[in-house]
Structure 1
Amino acid sequence: MTGSDPYGRAIHDHQRGKRERPLLERNGDETREHPIERFYFTGFSGSEWIESVFDGPLLDIGAGAGRHALYFQERFETVAIDVSERLVKTMRERGVEDARCVDMFALGETFGRDRFCSAFSYGTQVGLAGSMDGLRRFLADLAFVTTPEARTVLDAYDPNHKGAIDLLGYRADPTPGLAYRLYWFEYDGDVSEPLLFRLFSPNRFQEAAIGTGWRVTEIRREPEEGHHYRALLTKP
């Protein structure tokens, strides 16, 4: 987030018990309340699949309020990053041991080669790569900072699934397997810059991974939201 950061401010206010207004997602006249408590402050208990994938050191990308980092740091070294300084402050207040203000699209400028054994990003932030080329650059950057045996899990929305059209700010694209999503946040009079996400189908995700050092080896969909999926990427 940049500028006034209503997103980070609302979550930080919630952490301190000072939030009196909702955090809103807006697209034109359409408005929805962002579920802060459910998304960021419920406990994370892991899963058999996730436990089998990750090993430390782990890079938690776009870590938000540190929900996942708090769980994983009890098992191995975990570095939690977010572009919002307020969210980094929130994570530290909640007990995240290594929370840093880092742009996920500048990993190679921040960390050395082979720094992490696994990586995780939950929240569909990878869509902010904006294009197939942007996704390729991000994956190549991520490959640089992870070991040759590393595995990563990234989540995204599948524009080919019928449920995607119900996403706030959904924009269709004639290109197969691609779409856009555009919306912004508003909190207590502050309005964020518009956020433009590129939506990639699993096949498009696999296509973008070619030549980056990664390949998509498994896709898992959320049981109640088939358009929301997690992609497991491994190195050939």
Structure 2
Amino acid sequence: MDDGVTDELTDVATPETGDALGAMLREYHRGGEGVELIERDDGWIGISAGGEFYFAAYDEWPEPDRRAVDRVEGRVLDVGCGAGRAALYLQERGHDVTAIDVSPGAVEVARDRGVEDARVVDVADVADEFDPGTFDTVLMLGNNFGLAGTAETAPDRLRDLATVATDDATLVAQSRDPVATDDEHHLAYHEMNRERGRLPGALRMRVRHERLATPWFDYLMAAPDTMAELAGETPWNLVDTLEPDEGLDPAGGDYVGILEIEG
């Protein structure tokens, strides 16, 4: 084959950096379709639950999510709000909800769907954006405990969330035990993380949609004992875990942690 042709065929374009999550949510909001890809730094690519999950009504939520929102009281900070599924449900129940997401597109969609207070805010910046003692509940559904980032950043982010919370606040944080799997690709990634001094569930990833990709970011999957250990360096204390009823989580590992501020 001609060398020029070979070079042309192998010159693959890289994705454009942008708000891939927001683009997917806008597309789903317009037409009921939208695919979100998760790319990990070891080359693994998977399809997320996608738009259907982000827009699901309460009776379509996973069972632990429904139990988790029963723990919500008072004014709520919804961290990583996506399309606003939790914020909308809690508004309907009479809660004063502030929904935040780093994705401008997600916030736009959440507002368009009726979320009254949706803002583009990174979880790392909450202490600069909100007054101390503002929220009675901090909500991190959709595995959004992962936004704590890494073992190094998690304590600071949890302390910042405690700063903007009241003295008797509750943190409702969903995560997953990363090693509760028999997938060889995931197990190999966990081992690679151990070798480089990271927690097994410390993901380095980006979200992709069509030709867009977000910047690479850290996202942490943490077993309950890891969540408790990371919270132990902060005012939060893990007091309970909500796990799926038997048979509803065939892969194992999903749970919601309930944390409270120690007096």
Aligned-residue offset at 1:146: 0.7
Aligned residue number for residue 147 of structure 1: 166
Give distance in 2, aligned partners of 1:52 and 1:67.
15
Aligned residue number for residue 151 of structure 2: 132
Give distance in 2, aligned partners of 1:33 and 1:176.
24
Give distance in 2, aligned partners of 1:228 and 1:202.
10
How has the CA–CA distance of structure 1 residues 204 and 158 changed in structure 2, closer, same or farther, with 3 Å as cutoff?
same
Aligned residue number for residue 188 of structure 1: 210
Paired residue type of 1:233: L
**One of 76, 87, 111 as aligned partner of 1:58:** 76
**One of 234, 248, 255 as aligned partner of 1:212:** 234
- The range that moved more, 202-211 or 47-56, is 47-56
How has the CA–CA distance of structure 1 residues 104 and 168 changed in structure 2, closer, same or farther, with 3 Å as cutoff?
farther
How has the CA–CA distance of structure 1 residues 91 and 163 changed in structure 2, closer, same or farther, with 3 Å as cutoff?
farther
Aligned residue number for residue 200 of structure 1: 222
Give distance in 2, aligned partners of 1:159 and 1:207.
16
Give distance in 1, aligned partners of 2:177 and 2:117.
32
Contact 1:163–1:226 (CA under 8 A) maintained in structure 2: no
Aligned-residue offset at 1:160: 3.8
How has the CA–CA distance of structure 1 residues 169 and 92 changed in structure 2, closer, same or farther, with 3 Å as cutoff?
farther
Aligned residue number for residue 124 of structure 2: 105
Aligned-residue offset at 1:8: 1.1
Q: Does 1:88 align with 2:102?
A: no
Residue segments in structure 1 that go unaligned for 5+ positions in a row:
none
Percent sequence identity is 28
Give distance in 2, aligned partners of 1:132 and 1:167.
19
Contact 1:116–1:150 (CA under 8 A) maintained in structure 2: yes
Contact 2:58–2:66 (CA under 8 A) maintained in structure 1: no
Aligned-residue offset at 1:95: 0.8
Give distance in 2, aligned partners of 1:98 and 1:109.
17
Aligned-residue offset at 1:195: 3.4
SS of the equivalent of 2:203 reads strand
Aligned residue number for residue 85 of structure 2: 67
Aligned residue number for residue 17 of structure 1: 31
Aligned length: 234
Residue segments in structure 2 that go unaligned for 5+ positions in a row:
1-15
TM-score by length of 2: 0.78
Contact 1:107–1:142 (CA under 8 A) maintained in structure 2: yes
- The range that moved more, 66-75 or 194-203, is 194-203
Aligned residue number for residue 114 of structure 1: 133
TM-score by length of 1: 0.86
Contact 2:17–2:213 (CA under 8 A) maintained in structure 1: no
- The range that moved more, 120-129 or 84-93, is 120-129
Give distance in 1, aligned partners of 2:86 and 2:149.
25
Aligned-residue offset at 1:134: 1.0
Give distance in 2, aligned partners of 1:168 and 1:90.
36
SS of the equivalent of 1:219 reads strand
